[in-house]
Structure 1
């Protein structure tokens, strides 16, 4: 079959949160270094390796915990759309690159009302071999990460 590749895949999930779309987008596009304060059990640190937070082309390093293991990731901000509240990250180094040839993460927030939004995470990837599992647990990690950020802001608002 021409064009059929068992190694390439795409996973997507969409869910609602209480945080406005613009705020969720701003966290991942301009202030990812604040994520460790909002979800410290998942993200230990986020730092700029090259460039500046909030700019396309910036290289970001993440120190995070996934499936109970400490992991590292280095990503480049491939695209940032402040109108449609979307940010794309291309993995360039780190633990994921031990299993994947390519890995792209896109997070998009869509306003549902003034104070709520729909969050859409997309993972596009190419595995190094067929025996590598689909990254379902990583997709779940991002769902819980957004919900932790949402809970953090709800607790802050309640005070």
Structure 2
């Protein structure tokens, strides 16, 4: 009975990697404008944008349903362009005992790579791995890329 899991996916983006990292660090509240079909609202619940310990609440559409997730910024590594968020409330906590989301951006000149990592522990054996949630994150990544490329032209 394996309840712990790890899911890792990468997506290449044409958008400047530093800009993508800055959006996720300081401007998450703007992501609903860049991906309105998926992200309805992102609010700072406690603390400051881009500061460890700050709490952020996401309202989004997943598998056709409106959902809410509350997360705390657990770690920031500007040198590696990496952010780690720990889910502390909301709909994911109905299926998972723990859920960590790490976003890492590799900048490689004209091409950049965004790596999403989910580390999680399910509450029950019959809970599915979060593949559709990962698909949502990859889709939002592309929406951010497309929005910022269009706006920069």
TM-score normalised by L of structure 1: 0.93
Shift of 1:116: 3.0
For 1:116 and 1:46, locate their aligned partners in 2 and report how far apart those are by CA, in whole Å.
Answer: 28
Shift of 1:29: 1.0
Identify the residue that residue 140 of structure 2 maps to in structure 1.
Answer: 145
TM-score normalised by L of structure 2: 0.97
User: Is 1:118 matched with 2:102?
Assistant: no
Which 4+ stretches in 1 moved above 4 angstroms? none
Q: What is the CA deviation profile of residues 13-69 of structure 1, one whole-angstrom value per residue up to 9, with x for unaligned ones?
A: 112101111111111111110101110111111111110111111000111111111
Higher Rg: 1
User: Could you tell me which of 23, 47, 53 is aligned with 1:51?
Assistant: 47
Identify the residue that residue 27 of structure 2 maps to in structure 1.
Answer: 31
User: Could you tell me which of 14, 17, 20 is aligned with 2:13?
Assistant: 17
Q: Structure 2: where are the runs of 5+ without partners?
A: none
Q: What is the CA deviation profile of residues 56-94 of structure 1, one whole-angstrom value per residue up to 9, with x for unaligned ones?
A: 110001111111110001000001111111110100000
User: Is 1:100 matched with 2:73?
Assistant: no
For 1:140 and 1:105, locate their aligned partners in 2 and report how far apart those are by CA, in whole Å.
Answer: 13
Output aligned runs, 1:56-67, within 5 Å. Answer: 56-67=52-63
Provide the secondary structure at the position in 2 that maps to 1:129. Answer: coil
Q: Structure 1: where are the runs of 5+ without partners?
A: none
